[in-house]
Structures are given as C-alpha cells and as structure tokens.
C-alpha cells in the first residue's frame, strides 16, 4: 500500500513512523509512506495555502488550489471519478464518519493508494470535498488543532491489518472490535504476583477450555466497558 499525506506541518511526521510495526512494515515494503508539504503546491511568491472565509467569521480556510494541484500530481487525476482503481482520498475531519475497525479493514483491503488530507484552521474549502475526497473520516467527537494526529492514528490502524505487517496472521483478527467485542484479558509470567494469580484455566493446556474462557471474558468486558457495542447504539452493529 502507498500512503501520501498532505500537510502544512510535514515536520510533525519526522519520526512518528520510525518505530515498531509501521517501521517494520516500511522496511519490508508492505507500506510506503510519503509526507508532502501543501505549500509546495501553492501559487504566488508567498506560497499562501489559506485565506479568510467568504461570508465572514473566525479563522482561516485552506485554499482549494494547492490541494487540487497536489492530488492531481499524486493521482494523475483532478476529479475523484477519474482516479485509478484502488485510489482513495481521505479528508481527516471531525465531520467525517467515525473510524471503526470495520472502516480500517475496508481501507486496508480495498485501497492500494491512499491520499490523506490533514485539515487545519477552520477547515478546507468545500470544493475539495465535493470534487476530490472519497472518504471523510473522524477519529472521535472532538476537535483537534489539525488532521495530523488523526492521520497518524488512521495509518497505524491500517498498517497492522496489511498482510505480513504483524508477526502472527491471527493477531489482527483477535484485536478488540474485530468481532464486535473488546479483547479478552491477557496474562503472562509470573503465574502468582503479589498474591494475584493467573486464572487456572490458562495454565491447564486445554485449548478448547481456554478459547471458551476467552470468549466469555471478552463478552463480560464488553458488557461492562462498552455496552453500546452489544446494543448497536454506536451505529456499528
């Protein structure tokens, strides 16, 4: 998968992808991540990327010209209907659909090329959304200073789902939310720590009993911590 990130603060990403799973995936050429400064596509001697909103109001709005130029350069097309197959252009915005495991799974499975737009200020000129954006995604019902943290979260969620990115083929399938439930509790050595003992079922070597215990505990944990996942109130069931 190829990921291109458009931002006015490219330095934000200077080291964030140089650790752990994402670094290993890059080295294994499972994912290619490129960071692009939107200002490089701005017009005029001052490289302006923002301007005041029509109609008045607070703040500034990212201009359409640099983003159209950047996306046309990265995708070879200036309209989303003409993008090559497997190309998705994502706007990171609090107005987008929530980032759920299913959304990450869809992008990891269907997209070969992702272009992520990191919004700033009061937002992005709506013509960018209308003509270029295929997906608007939010990582939560709150407002960030910009889309950079959201882009990092989305990339992390996607990369771990790419084939070969994790050490085990079953790791991603057993993550929280993959089956609509939270993950079960996990334990490691020592079996007895300050009087707190690991459940006996995990020590007996009976894998059928262990899987049954894990399923029960995952359901219990979900019911207590995220009952909305069981009732469908989060809109993802």
- Cis check: omega of the bond before 232, within 30 degrees of 0: no
Number of residues that this document lists for the chain: 237
SS3 readout for 74-119: HHCCCCHHHCCCCEEEEEEEEEEEECCHHHHHHHHHHCCEEEEEEC
Active site residue 120: no
Q: Is 50 helix (H, G, I), strand (E, B) or coil?
A: strand
Element (H, E) at 49: none
130 flagged as catalytic: no
Tokens of 114: 């992702």
Active site residue 148: no
Which of the following is catalytic: 65, 106, 122, 236? 122
Has 175 been annotated as catalytic? Answer: yes
| Catalytic member of 53, 94, 149, 185 | 94
Query: Which residue among the candidates 4, 64, 66, 160 is catalytic per the annotation?
Result: 160
Residue labelled with tokens 């990130």:
5
Q: Which residues, at least 6 apart from 145, have a Cβ–Cβ distance to it below 8 Å?
A: 120
**Cβ distance 5 to 91 under 8 Å?**
no
DSSP string, 170-226: TTGGGSTTTTSSPPPP---S-SEETTEEPPGGGGS--HHHHHHHHHHHHHHHHHHH-
Residue tagged active-site, from 175, 183, 220, 236: 175
Catalytic residue annotation: 94, 122, 160, 175
């Amino acid at each position: 998968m190829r990921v291109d990130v458009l931002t006015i603060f490219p330095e934000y990403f200077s080291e964030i992808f140089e650790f752990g799973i994402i670094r290993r995936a890059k080295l294994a050429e499972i994912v290619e991540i490129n960071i692009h400064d939107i200002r490089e596509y701005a017009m005029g001697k001052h490289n302006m990327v923002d301007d005041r909103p029509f109609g008045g109001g607070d703040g500034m709005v990212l201009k359409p010209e640099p983003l159209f130029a950047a996306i046309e350069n990265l995708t070879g097309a200036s309209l989303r209907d003409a993008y090559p197959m497997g190309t998705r252009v994502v706007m990171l915005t609090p107005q987008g659909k929530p980032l759920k495991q299913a959304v990450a799974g869809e992008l990891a499975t269907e997209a070969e090329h992702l272009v992520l737009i990191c919004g700033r200020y009061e937002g992005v000129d709506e013509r960018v959304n209308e003509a270029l954006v295929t997906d608007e995604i939010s990582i939560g019902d709150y407002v960030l200073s910009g889309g950079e943290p959201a882009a990092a979260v989305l990339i992390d969620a996607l990369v771990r789902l790419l084939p070969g990115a994790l050490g085990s083929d079953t790791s991603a399938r057993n993550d929280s939310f993959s089956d609509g439930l939270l993950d079960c509790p996990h334990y490691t050595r020592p079996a007895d720590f300050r009087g707190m003992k690991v459940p006996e079922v995990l020590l007996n070597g009976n894998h059928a009993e262990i899987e049954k215990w894990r399923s029960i505990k995952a359901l219990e944990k979900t019911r207590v911590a995220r009952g909305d996942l069981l009732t469908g109130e989060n809109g993802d069931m």
